[in-house]
A and B are shown apart, each in its own frame.
Chain A
C-alpha cells in the first residue's frame, strides 16, 4: 500500500551542526507537508510544498520537493536546542485521499 518513508529515524547532533531528514514515497504525491512535534506535544504544521522541484525556506530551515514529486527533504542549518523534536513529512496521494504520514525523524541536540 501507500507508504511514506522517512530516514533517519533518529539523529543526534551537536549544537551548530547541520541536520537533514529525507522523506520518500512509493508513489507520486500531490503535495508534501512538514510538521514538527516537540517532546510531549502535538504536531504543528511547518510548511507545504506543492510544485515539482519546489524549494522553500523558513529562516534556518530549507524544504525541498523532488522533481518527480516522490521525495522531499528538510535541512536545518546550524541547529539550536530549540530545534529538538520529531519532524514528520506527510502527503496526499491525490485529491480526496487521506494525508499519509511518515514515521518521523527525532532530532536531539546537545549544547
Chain B
C-alpha cells in the first residue's frame, strides 16, 4: 500500500490564484482530514470527511473548500490564495470503524508559499 499520498510536494502561488491540493489513500479508510501546520503552532484541522459525499468544517475552514466524491480522494481547494495561507498542508486518514480510538495516518505534506 502507498498509504496516504499528496501532490504537489511544493508550490508557489501568487496572491489571488487558485489551486487544488490532491490527497489520496489506498487503505479503504472512511475518514479523511486536512490539516495545516504553521511553524510552532501544531496542527489545525481545516476540513474532514467521514465518508464519500460527507464533509464538515474543522477549526480553520475559511478560504478553503473540499469535496469527497470517492472514498479514496479528498482534494482541498484554495480559491483566492492569500499570504496567510502559506503553510504546510497535511492530509490524513483513519479507518472510521470506531469513532473513538482512531489512529490517523498522515501524508507527506504539501508546502505552499503564497507571495
Partner-B contacts on A (CB < 8 A):
9, 30-31, 33, 41-45, 48, 50, 88, 90, 92, 94-96, 98-99, 101-104
Query: Does chain A have a CB within 8 A of B105?
Result: yes
- Interface check B90, CB cutoff 8 A: yes
Question: B45 at the A/B interface (Cβ < 8 Å)?
Answer: yes
Chain B contacts of A42 at CB under 8 A? 90, 106-109
Q: Which residues of A contact B35 (CB under 8 A)?
A: 101
Size bracket, chain B contacts:
20 to 34
A101 to B59, CA, bound (A): 11
Q: How far is the CA of A48 from the CA of B107 in the complex (A)?
A: 19
In the bound assembly, the distance between CA atoms of A29 and B72 in angstroms comes to 30
In the assembled complex, the CB of B15 is this many whole angstroms from the nearest CB of chain A, namely: 26
A43 & B106 in contact (Cβ 8 Å cutoff): yes
Quick check: B101 and A48 within 8 Å, CB to CB?
A: yes
| Dominant SS among interface residues on chain A | loop
CB distance from B39 to the nearest CB of A (A): 10
Complexed CA–CA distance, A103 and B100 (Å): 21
Residues of B within 8 A of A90 (CB): 43
**What are 25 pairs between A and B in contact, CB < 8 Å?**
A9-B40, A30-B100, A30-B101, A33-B103, A42-B106, A42-B107, A42-B108, A43-B104, A45-B103, A45-B104, A45-B105, A48-B101, A48-B103, A88-B42, A92-B100, A98-B45, A98-B48, A98-B58, A98-B59, A99-B45, A99-B102, A99-B104, A101-B43, A103-B40, A103-B42
